[in-house]
Amino acid sequence: MALKFRNLFVSLTGLFCSLYACSGNSIRNDSNLPNSTTYQKITAETAYQMMQKSDGFVLLDVRSNEEFQEKHINGAILIPVSELEKRAEPELADKDAVILVYCRSGVRSANASKILVKKGYTQVFDFGGINSWPYETVRGK
């Protein structure tokens, strides 16, 4: 009986952890960042809704120039993640601005979000990759 209860407990704990991790709206807390600073992971749908409700945001594409030319979200500015350390502060002067970050699949946007938070940006939202963006995109600049 105790073994069945233990197995059930382990299964339920794993299920709850998986559901929380896949929720798409979790706050990411990176212990490698000073003062446990955070950025928020949101869905493409949430990012789109935020963009429709306000123009007070920066839409940041952190892919390469070639990827950006192929397709990007209208209104996005390009700062490749490899250049973000040196270009963020001169080009993104308002550290309290809402910054919506995306890349191709979500890996670079997460890295870029961590860099921005480390530099003191306070409203960073990572919505993953353009591959998951179901809305309109444009080509070229």
Euclidean distance between CA atoms 117 and 36, whole angstroms: 10
Contact 63, 108 (CB under 8 A): yes
The domain segmentation of the chain, as residue ranges, is: 25-132
Backbone phi and psi for residue 74, each to the nearest 5 degrees, phi listed first? -55, 130
Is pLDDT of 9 > 50? no
Q: What band does 24 get if pLDDT is binned at 50, 70 and 90?
A: very low
State mean pLDDT over 32-41.
64
Is pLDDT of 6 > 50? no
Contact 79, 87 (CB under 8 A): yes
Give the count of beta carbons closer than 10 Å to the beta carbon of residue 45. 14
From 59, 76, 103, 115, the catalytic residue: 103
Is pLDDT of 17 > 80? no
State mean pLDDT over 107-119.
97
pLDDT digits (tens, 9 = 90+) for 57-112: 999 999 999 999 999 999 999 999 999 999 999 999 999 999 999 999 999 999 99
pTM for this entry: 0.75
Q: Residue 37 has what pLDDT?
A: 66
Angle in degrees, 0-180, between the axes of helices 84-91 and 107-118, rounded to the nearest 10: 60
Q: Which fold has domain 25-132?
A: Oxidized Rhodanese; domain 1 (3.40.250)
22 is annotated as an active-site residue: no
Euclidean distance between CA atoms 128 and 10, whole angstroms: 30
